[in-house]
Amino acid sequence: MAEILVLTEHRQGEMQEISLEMLAKGQQLAEQTKKELTAVLLGKGVASMADEVKRYCHHILVMEDDLLANFNSEPYQDVLSFLIKERKPSLVLMGHTAFGMDLAPPLATAAGIPLATDCYEIEVKGDAVIPYRQMYGGKMCAEVHFKEAPCHMITVRAGSFPAEGLKEINGAVEQVSFQFDKDYAYKKFLQYVEAAVGDVDITQADVLVAVGRGIGDSENLPMVEELAKLLGGVVACSRPVADKHWLPKERQVGTSGKTVKPKLYIAFGISGAFQHLAGMKNAATIIAVNKDPKAPIFSVAHYGIVDDLMKVVPSLVAKVRERKGA
């Protein structure tokens, strides 16, 4: 069957955003290559999630088993190896998350599939699917060409593709029949331990006011923090600001920081290096303020102001205060 497989990721009964992002990109790739899109959902008690996911694909393959109740790469690998052998997809997508990083390399090795990891873009050129990834800490962008093979695998960086605009397909739910021949006693799930997010989790903020090296000095941060507070948002930053320790690393946006998708992203004094753009380009509305009219940040901004942020920020603070009657 000519199809693209997307492995959906869920945690503690909730579908992860990366799954919807991959389905959105999968729909686009399937249309371009004239293939069908198939989602794979493994777990226990996942019927409600199956009903949600089937809306966006032609088929959803569901398997429920106690061994799949919590993520364990070993049983997942056995089921997926079976599905890849049986269905012979042309492409397998999974998230470049802790989940995918654990699973993709051994699965690709076992199935003999060429693998590209941590990809931020995927294009179709002729008959080839071309993924793009960064190298050398984000200093270089590589166009990856696979060796010829009937199937390829790609892990996708979270936040790379907007989940908005998913088309309704309402595909068929298919139950997978697979018999485990071991209990994986050597590798057991114990518990979920959530990572510390610091004082603020910028990935959850609807409004981000971000600053770059154009802020000049840490003494100028309070006026930006005041604007963020008035707008009901939080302050984020580019790498130079985090490297100078003016703001904690947890506030950094970009490939070496965090990927964000707020409703509003205001960038002050950020030139827009590729590493930063990759972390915020999918924000719903982007406003950029920079003295350089040729700054790359304007290529993704919906609105731009060519001026000194030291003039713009106080003016915005005054205007917002006036509107709020403060």
pLDDT in tens, 129-153: 999 998 876 677 899 999 999 999 9
213 plus 72 within the same structural domain: no
CA proximity to 37, closest of 199, 169, 149? 169
Whether 81 is in a domain gets the answer yes
Q: What is the pLDDT of residue 257?
A: 86
Q: State the pLDDT at residue 256.
A: 79
- Cα separation, 59 vs 136, in Å, equals 38
The 10 Å CB-count burial string (b at 16+, else e) for 142-171 is: eebebeeeebbbbbbbbbbbbbeebeebeb
Full-model pTM? 0.78
- What is the DSSP annotation of 74-116? HHHHHHHHHHHHHH--SEEEEESSHHHHHHHHHHHHHHT--EE
Whether 41 and 128 share a structural domain: yes
Residue 226 falls inside a structural domain: yes
Supply the DSSP symbol for 307: S
What's the CATH code of the domain at 51? 3.40.50.620
Q: How far is CA 70 from CA 126, 193, 281, in A?
A: 40, 13, 33
Q: Which residue has the higher pLDDT, 15 or 275?
A: 15
Work out how many domains the chain is built from and give that number.
2
188 within a domain of the structure (yes/no): no
Asked whether the beta carbons of 113 and 84 are under 8 A apart, the reply is yes
**pLDDT tens-digit map of 249-277:** 999 998 778 889 899 999 999 998 888 98
**What are the tens digits of pLDDT across the range 29-42?**
999 999 999 999 99
Supply the range of the domain harboring residue 29: 3-175
195 confidence band (pLDDT: 50, 70, 90): low
Classify residue 181: in a domain, yes or no. Answer: no
Q: What average pLDDT does this structure show over 201-214?
A: 94
Does 164 share its domain with 257? Answer: no
The number of beta carbons lying within 10 Å of the beta carbon of residue 281 is 21
Q: Is residue 190 part of a domain?
A: no
- Domain annotation covers residue 189: no
The length of the chain is: 326
Distance of CA 27 to the CA centre of its chain: 16
CATH at residue 246: 3.40.50.1220
The reply to whether 192 falls in a domain is no
Q: Are the C-beta atoms of 87 and 40 separated by less than 8 Å?
A: no
Decide which of 159, 175, 191 is a domain's last residue.
175
